[in-house]
Amino acid sequence: MSNKRRWLPEAFRTKRSRLGAAAGTSGDIWGEELPFEDVPSDTLTALHFLADLLPKDVLSKLDFPPIVLKHQLYSLLHNRTTVDQQLESLRKSGKVQVLNLGCAPDTYAVVTTSCYATRVRASSSGQPWDAVAERFLRQVSEHCGDIWLARERLIDLKFSDADVTKLINAGLLTARAVGSWWISIPGLGKFVKLYLKGRKAVLLAIQKSRHHEILESELKNRRLGPGAHLGVPYLLHDIIGADLLRCVNTTSGKILRLVADQHRRSGPCHQNPRFFVAEPSDAFTT
């Protein structure tokens, strides 16, 4: 019955008005000039936290900015709707650039716009596409925050076919469909390769352990295969956010359990013993 009490609608809950909580008083306490625009949202904070998890030596070797996957945020913040909405507002205000990773249908990566611009400028300096890339940065990435671009949009922004070819060579655009391109970052392929390898290594380690579950602390201490260059914490956030693992809190710490396995074990038919098919006579005669 405890389940019943949980789902009472708002209308049944009595709302008692608190003294002093009337409109206007809260503003007086904090003052009008509090700079709410500068306070980072949960999503932005989580982005910075996840970016710091990436090992610096690997990034410097790749010459790559710290990059965060969108679903990694879901492992830190539980309300996915809020994360999506805050990320959308960050994208629209031009603070972050969202990129399609291209390895699975719904995987997106998030980079801060400044890091994105630095990486693009570093990779295109001295190349024949230097001027086009600079114009692309100014017109596209710093203003509209698109994820993909159609041909009509590029024509509006005065990019000719030759320019588009140059942008593809520079690694700023990748093919999506006929007449549309994803926005990308030079050297993304190397990162994706590392990321997929690392994910596989972590999943394999959990699969090999007994009952397909492992303590988080044990996994972090374990020596993984050669793949996990990106660090176990970073990869764990990715796997938990992608709903491949389930966290169970226990007294000795967090247990990580493979989700697919869990569904297979507790089959759907055995969950409700109370249910009984109406006509038992059929079962006896046939």
Partner 1 sequence: MLRLLWARQTGVDDAFRLQRAESTRRVMNLELSKTFVVERRHEHSITTLDLDPVEMRFMISADSEGLISIYHMNRAWDKPFHSPAKSCPAVASISGTNPNNHKFMVQTVQWYPHDTGMFTSSSFDKTLKVWDTNSLQVADIFKFANPVHCHHMSPIATKHCLVAVGTSNCRVQLCDLKSGSSTHTLYGHQKGVLAVRWSTRNEYLLATGSEDNQVRIWDVRKASAFLFSLDQHSHDVSSKPKQRACNTAHNGHVNGLCFTHDGLHLLTSGTDHRLRLWNTATGEHVLVNYGKVRIKRHVNLKFCISSGCSPNVAFVPTDSNISVLDIHSGQLLHELVGHYGIVNCCVYHPLFQEVYSAGSDCNILVWTPDLGRCSEADDAEDGGTKNGCSAFQDTWSCSEDEG
Q: Which residues bind partner 1 (CB under 8 A)?
A: 1-4, 7-12, 14, 79-81, 83-85, 88, 105-106, 146-148, 150, 152-153, 176-177, 179-180, 243, 268-269, 271-272, 274-275, 277-279, 282
CB of 258 to partner 1, least distance (A): 14
Quick one: 108 or 224, whose CB is closer to partner 1?
A: 108
CB of 93 to partner 1, least distance (A): 14
Question: Tokens 């070797």 belong to which residue?
Answer: 61
CB of 267 to partner 1, least distance (A): 8
CB of 142 to partner 1, least distance (A): 18
Quick one: 162 or 277, whose CB is closer to partner 1?
A: 277
Quick one: 4 or 208, whose CB is closer to partner 1?
A: 4
Quick one: 109 or 230, whose CB is closer to partner 1?
A: 109
Q: Is 183 helix (H, G, I), strand (E, B) or coil?
A: strand
CB of 175 to partner 1, least distance (A): 12
Quick one: 28 or 106, whose CB is closer to partner 1?
A: 106
